[in-house]
Structure 1
Amino acid sequence: MPPSPTPTGPRIKSPETLIAESGADLEGHGLKRTMGLFQLVCFGVGAIVGTGIFVGLSDTVAEAGPAVIVSFVLAAITCVFTAFSFAELGGAIPVSGSSYSFAYAALGERVAFLVGWCLLLEYGISVSAVAVGWSQYLNELLDSVFGVQLPTALSAGPADGGVINLPAVVVMAMAAALLVRGIRESARATAFMAVLKIGILLAFCAIAFSAFQEGNLTPFLKEGAGGITSGASLAFFSYIGFDAVTTAGEEVKNPRRNIPLAIMICIGLVTLLYCAVAVAAIGALGADAVGDKPAALSLVVDQVTDSTVGGGIVAFGAVVAIASVVLAVMYGQTRILMSMSRDGLIPRVFERVSPKTSTPVRGTLIVASVFAVPAAFSSLDVVVNLTTIGTLATMVVVNIAVVALRRSRPDLKRSFRVPLYPLSPVLGVGFCMYLIWGTGWTTWVQFAVFLVVGALVYAFYGRRNSRLGAAQAQAA
């Protein structure tokens, strides 16, 4: 084990220290390793496949037209290079903190805190956005099956012409209730929902391809190269969540093997599924029709089958799919906050694990309560770009962390190594920056303000309460 940093040195925590500290929290109650490879893959798919494809496909098609397929592939390539980096770091440092912990080990505490701050966008704000998408498809399902819809005042926020989005709050409450019961129950539920939604998307492809018309794919570059770039930035939202696999590092059996393998399986499976769904939808109705309605998949099935039954089934699949994303993403947020709390950078309440359920009960309830507020009162469109840029920023740091850790710790045990090093992480940074460019200057300004606020929180709370900083001071 390398020596601890000196009192005047950088606040970098060694991988061995991170792993040792994750064995049990300060209350003496640790997380339990109960997830196997299949459950981990289902957890990853559960975190990825949801609002982005069921609700966000229409926005992506509206930007890129038939070339949305290229947008999905471009977003996938970005994810693949970064997934290699996550796989290497997840296998070497199998703890719950994900990119926050990786940055702590490679780049130091300040960068790690800002990464954790950005993860509030990827996990916290995105779970609110996902809950809003769930509410939209719940109304679609009620309309298809019973011919009724919830009143707009109670199923949409003020930005969408309503008062409060109660269904979005309800799905977050259900996810929190399941998470506090235990990871075994949550993993089983996620696995069931992941298998179900993949089956429904495959059924959608079969129905839509039966009405496929080649002419609907022309002109292919209808919106030009700029449309592809903008579409790729939006399509990236559909892939957010694959890194959630690394947040389960302390609850996975044989994590050094299963975490890298699960990440690669998830990215490959989801990319094939998204491209097939996009081609099938546009081929059946055309880009203009698909890009005109949020619940586009239900619309496609309704028109192809000339019945509302198929659309109702797709809507049911979307309700299940999006609920599983809420569950998986909320899980990831609580584990990241738990890691930050262990380090003293945020209040201690988030690190406490219940001896009865082996879950961070209080932290889960706080997360659900806080992020239910934007879910109740905001619009999905408002937060998608901000969530995307926050996620891309953390991925830039993860790619850099691979290079930094290779140089500072060449002796570290790595169960997976990124191929074509150092080209792979460099390309990962490049593709992430390319998609950040596509989010637009308004989002850049919002994100810059968000980072400044995070830097101030670290300066006035995190740095002063850091346990690593306290240990360095005692050693002086």
Structure 2
Amino acid sequence: MAPLLQQVLRRKPVEAYAAEGEAGGLRRTIGLAQLSMFGIGATVGTGIFFVLSEAVPVAGPAVIVSFVIAGVVAGLTAICYAELASAVPVSGSSYSYAYATLGELVAMGVAACLLLEYGVSAAAVAVGWSQYLNELLDNVVGVAIPEALSASPEAGGVVNLPAVVLVALCSLLLVRGTSESARANAAMVVVKVAVLLLFVVVALAGWESDNLSDFAPFGLDGVTTAAGIIFFSYIGLDAVSTAGEEVEDPRRTMPLAILIALVTVTSLYVAVSVVAVAAQPQERFDGQEAGLAAILEDVTGSTWPGTVLAAGAVVSIFSITLVVLYGQTRILFAMGRDGMVPPLFARVDRRTQTPVAGTVVVGVAVGLLAGLLPIDFLAEMTSVGTLVAFLVVSVGVMVLRRTAPDLERGFRVPLYPVLPLASVAGCLWIISSLRGITLVVFAVWVAAVLAFYFAYGIRHSRLAGTEVGR
């Protein structure tokens, strides 16, 4: 085998991951309840609180089916994640899984997807948070942040300052420590779920069957396109797997947390989307900001339900940004330890036992995206990154079954290999429905990351000059 081909195909042994996890630098402080909350916290709200205004104009009331399709595909992938997380319980998520199963070049391609999946989605939800903050301020004190300071340049503003501030606050909390961040997130998730249940109960009073009459005005193409737009709202299932080196009893805890998050998330998404499209005509969703709050105000004729929901969204979207930023820093931590990116990202502060420098860099980059880009572009770019990463995880399960059949697994995918193959097919189906410009930008981004790999990572890899994994 040619030397270059040997280099790009070298794999990191699972045993090496296990040794690094034990030697670590990161502290195991997260239990099952907190980890489940991490998954729910990164997922619930990312779609429901604001993406309906992007998805309903594309699919109509059939956006309900879009959520179900996205949930089924995410569920198939979640089962695959559960097996890999129990077999390779380390930081780095699908990047680490790809490195262990498919080789270094594929791992860098997956890393490109994850940088989109986490960094861009953190920016997207920060923009959504800004919308709900404005709704809350307007309802409570009758004052709104000027458009120049609350919208991206493309949306008519100068910078989305609230989104930038949110990213900065979450970065500061992550710098303080993982256990503190996990406790704060758990509290915010409780608020989030309560607020969404309030929405379902109150908005039921506005149910109008006529709103569902033209159920799928744009046909199957609209339904699948909307599924692609909202798929990024299932990112929390991936976020669970980024915490592998900070979880107690990871082989048992991680698959359980993934499955708990999946069931909770899908149930809430479907319930809220059904009630929302029945309570409001589909044409009113287009361009609507703080949509769920606006629906409650219309249904009740009062501002208090919308105010409560906006307040809940402000709190709960904070938790999404927190967990997604956490996931990004841990993926870069794993890459820095492997030599794929500068060692700055793997440097752990002795006092807080967190990657402080890496967290600051991520916070600055995400803050710039949140302040300067519109939410619709951010959502689609996140979706394609998420889908490709999910696809690789499903392939990784099948590869690891062949290359390491005796490896200890705390969970095994049922109906193997039918479910992993179905997951791959579902991801490809949704990817094919995304806009051409989204796929072109994604391809350019992946090419840029791979160019960085050949310029830097291939020479600095910790596997360079060894026979490990070849």
Partner secondary structure for residue 250 of structure 1: helix
Q: Which moved more, 1:385-394 or 1:463-472?
A: 463-472
Aligned to 1:92: 87
**Residue 85 of structure 2 corresponds to residue 56 of structure 1:** no
Listed as ranges, the matches of 1:367-386 within 5 Å are 367-386=362-381
CA distance in 1, matches of 2:241, 2:234: 15
**Residue 32 of structure 2 corresponds to residue 33 of structure 1:** no
CA distance in 2, matches of 1:10, 1:131: 37
Equivalent residue letter for 2:31: G
Q: CA deviation at 1:285?
A: 1.9
Partner secondary structure for residue 469 of structure 1: coil
Contact 1:205 1:277 (8 Å CA) reproduced? yes
Partner secondary structure for residue 238 of structure 1: helix
Residue segments in structure 2 that go unaligned for 5+ positions in a row: none
Aligned to 2:252: 257
CA distance in 2, matches of 1:326, 1:372: 11
**Residue 426 of structure 2 corresponds to residue 427 of structure 1:** no
**Residue 70 of structure 2 corresponds to residue 71 of structure 1:** no
Q: TM-score normalised to the size of structure 2?
A: 0.96
Listed as ranges, the matches of 1:264-275 within 5 Å are 264-275=259-270
1:254-290 C-alpha deviation (Å, 9 max, x unpaired): 1111111111111111111011111111112232223
Aligned to 1:278: 273
**Residue 113 of structure 2 corresponds to residue 118 of structure 1:** yes
Q: CA deviation at 1:239?
A: 1.6
Listed as ranges, the matches of 1:242-253 within 5 Å are 242-253=237-248
Q: Which moved more, 1:320-329 or 1:228-237?
A: 228-237
Listed as ranges, the matches of 1:40-439 within 5 Å are 40-439=35-434
Contact 2:200 2:272 (8 Å CA) reproduced? yes
Q: CA deviation at 1:223?
A: 2.1
1:209-228 C-alpha deviation (Å, 9 max, x unpaired): 12212222112222211111
Contact 1:134 1:168 (8 Å CA) reproduced? yes
Partner secondary structure for residue 383 of structure 1: helix
Q: CA deviation at 1:382?
A: 1.9
Aligned to 2:21: 22
Instruction: From the superposition, tell whether residues 9 and 121 of structure 1 become closer, same or farther in structure 2 (CA, over 3 Å).
Output: closer
Equivalent residue letter for 1:384: A
Q: CA deviation at 1:8?
A: 7.6
Contact 2:61 2:282 (8 Å CA) reproduced? yes
CA distance in 2, matches of 1:282, 1:376: 30
CA distance in 1, matches of 2:8, 2:318: 45
Q: CA deviation at 1:295?
A: 1.5
CA distance in 2, matches of 1:309, 1:69: 27
Q: CA deviation at 1:292?
A: 4.8
1:174-221 C-alpha deviation (Å, 9 max, x unpaired): 101111111111000000001100000000000011221222211222
Partner secondary structure for residue 266 of structure 1: helix
RMSD: 1.7
CA distance in 2, matches of 1:213, 1:164: 39
**Residue 7 of structure 2 corresponds to residue 12 of structure 1:** no
CA distance in 2, matches of 1:240, 1:438: 19
Instruction: From the superposition, tell whether residues 206 and 466 of structure 1 become closer, same or farther in structure 2 (CA, over 3 Å).
Output: same
Instruction: From the superposition, tell whether residues 291 and 84 of structure 1 become closer, same or farther in structure 2 (CA, over 3 Å).
Output: same
Equivalent residue letter for 1:12: R
Instruction: From the superposition, tell whether residues 128 and 108 of structure 1 become closer, same or farther in structure 2 (CA, over 3 Å).
Output: same
CA distance in 1, matches of 2:104, 2:397: 16
Q: Which moved more, 1:435-444 or 1:334-343?
A: 435-444
Residue segments in structure 1 that go unaligned for 5+ positions in a row: 1-5
Equivalent residue letter for 2:23: A
Q: CA deviation at 1:9?
A: 9.4
Instruction: From the superposition, tell whether residues 322 and 352 of structure 1 become closer, same or farther in structure 2 (CA, over 3 Å).
Output: same
CA distance in 2, matches of 1:145, 1:174: 23
Q: CA deviation at 1:470?
A: 3.4
Contact 2:8 2:103 (8 Å CA) reproduced? no
Aligned to 1:442: 437
Q: Which moved more, 1:429-438 or 1:125-134?
A: 125-134
1:70-94 C-alpha deviation (Å, 9 max, x unpaired): 1100000110111111000001111
Q: CA deviation at 1:58?
A: 1.7
Contact 2:117 2:232 (8 Å CA) reproduced? no
CA distance in 1, matches of 2:273, 2:370: 27
Q: TM-score normalised to the size of structure 1?
A: 0.95
The sequence identity of aligned pairs, in percent, is: 51
Partner secondary structure for residue 203 of structure 2: helix
1:286-312 C-alpha deviation (Å, 9 max, x unpaired): 322234513110111101111111111
Q: Which moved more, 1:13-22 or 1:193-202?
A: 13-22
CA distance in 2, matches of 1:19, 1:217: 52
Contact 1:127 1:371 (8 Å CA) reproduced? yes
CA distance in 1, matches of 2:102, 2:208: 52
Equivalent residue letter for 1:253: E
1:41-88 C-alpha deviation (Å, 9 max, x unpaired): 111111112231111012111111111111100000110111111000
> How many pairs are equivalent?
466
Q: CA deviation at 1:128?
A: 1.2
